[in-house]
Amino acid sequence: MEREKIGIKGMDLMIQGGFPRGSIIGLPGPPGVGKSIFALHFLLEGARKGQKCVYINLEEPERNIDNMVKQFDFSEEFFRLVKAGKIVLRCYTYPEYEKIYTELFQKIREDKEVKRLVIDSFNCFFSAVSHPEALTIPTEVNIRRMINQSFSMLRKKDLTTILILEMQHDLRSSFYYNIPYLVDGIINLDFLELGAIERRVFIPKMRWTKQYKESKSFDIGKKGIVMKKEE
Ligand SMILES: Nc1ncnc2c1ncn2[C@@H]1O[C@H](COP(=O)(O)OP(=O)(O)O)[C@@H](O)[C@H]1O
Ligand SMILES: [Mg+2]
């Protein structure tokens, strides 16, 4: 099994060295836990190896992405790889994205150089579609069809995809539909509140992999996500 490293030391070890190449991974977690930063590591790791890596953001303008990257020690290298075309950043609003996503996925599918893709966030797209003010008919059937269609377009031997899943604790299942069943793996980032807040990573699902059975704690700092030493 060929692997695509996440690029976060200690986390790759939890999944035998990385994601199975060609897999689609769900990355759920509450706001602020570190999902987008996790994505930066994944993009950076691929681009360092010369892979073309595409990041699609549906929530923030590009300026916000720049500001996020700037906080980290790897920012210079990151922006150099953006300039070199190895990391491609694309920001869309929901209506734009809804209109072009099939075209966009088709392009990504056809571009043989693209090896890594991140969609930040995937479920927000569907929840926006199901919003009462959205113009499309917000039937669950429609949403499931869009999800299935996205998956079949993203399934490609050499393309490894992360779908970020924004989640509030009280909204757990509703915006997920069948996503947890369709993905090949799930990396769960969460907060543990024990007086001080701690961030933890847990891997409930990873096909073709002997996965680590316990959760591990991590910190976010100048180096991005860093696993904490076990006591
Ligand atoms: N330089 C930094 N040092 C420490 N923590 C940071 C730093 N930069 C960002 N963070 C933490 O990362 C969080 C944002 O992470 P992000 O990946 O954007 O979250 P998510 O995408 O899951 O909503 C912030 O709330 C902050 O706690
Ligand atoms: Mg985010």
Structural domain boundaries in the chain = 3-227
- Summarize pLDDT for 40-61 with one digit per residue, the tens: 999 999 999 999 999 999 989 9
Mean pLDDT to the nearest integer, 87-115: 92
- Gap between the Cα atoms of 5 and 11, Å rounded: 9
pLDDT of 168 > 80? The answer is no
pLDDT(135) > 60: no
Q: Distance between CA atoms of 83 and 69, rounded to whole angstroms?
A: 14
What pTM did the predictor assign? Answer: 0.93
Ligand 2 centroid to residue 207 C-alpha, Å: 25
User: What are the Cα distances from residue 117, in Å, to 26, 90, 227?
Assistant: 12, 11, 23
pLDDT at 99: 85
- The closest-lying atom of ligand 1 relative to the alpha carbon of residue 38 is 17
In whole angstroms, give the CA distance from residue 45 to residue 39.
Answer: 10
| Matching residue, tokens 């590591």 | 41
DSSP string, 95-155: HHHHHHHHHHHHHHHH-TTEEEEEEETHHHHHHHHTSTTSSS---HHHHHHHHHHHHHHH-
Of all protein residues, the one whose alpha carbon is nearest to atom 3 of ligand 1 is: 221
Distance from the alpha carbon of residue 58 to the mean position of ligand 1, in angstroms: 18
CA distance linking residue 190 with residue 202, whole number of Å = 8
Rounded Cα distance, 161 and 9, in Å: 19
With bands split at pLDDT 50, 70 and 90, how would you rate the model's confidence at 142? confident
pLDDT for 138: 54
Q: DSSP string of 10-60?
A: TTGGGGTTSEETT-EEEEEE-TTSSHHHHHHHHHHHHHHTT-EEEEEESSS
Q: Could you say which DSSP state residue 169 is in?
A: G
Question: Distance (Å, rounded) from C-alpha 65 to C-alpha 38?
Answer: 13
Length of the chain: 231
In this structure, which long-range contacts are made by residues 192-201, counting pairs with CB atoms below 8 Å and at least 24 apart in sequence? 192/217, 199/33, 199/34, 201/11, 201/14
- Across all residues in the chain, what is the average pLDDT? 89
Q: Per CATH, is 3-227 categorized as 3.40.50.300?
A: yes
173 pLDDT higher than 50? no
Atom of ligand 1 nearest to the CA of 30: 22
Res. 137: pLDDT tops 80 = no
What confidence category does residue 133 fall into, taking pLDDT thresholds of 50, 70 and 90?
A: low
What pLDDT sits at residue 70?
A: 98
How far away, in angstroms, is 141 Cα from ligand 2 center?
27
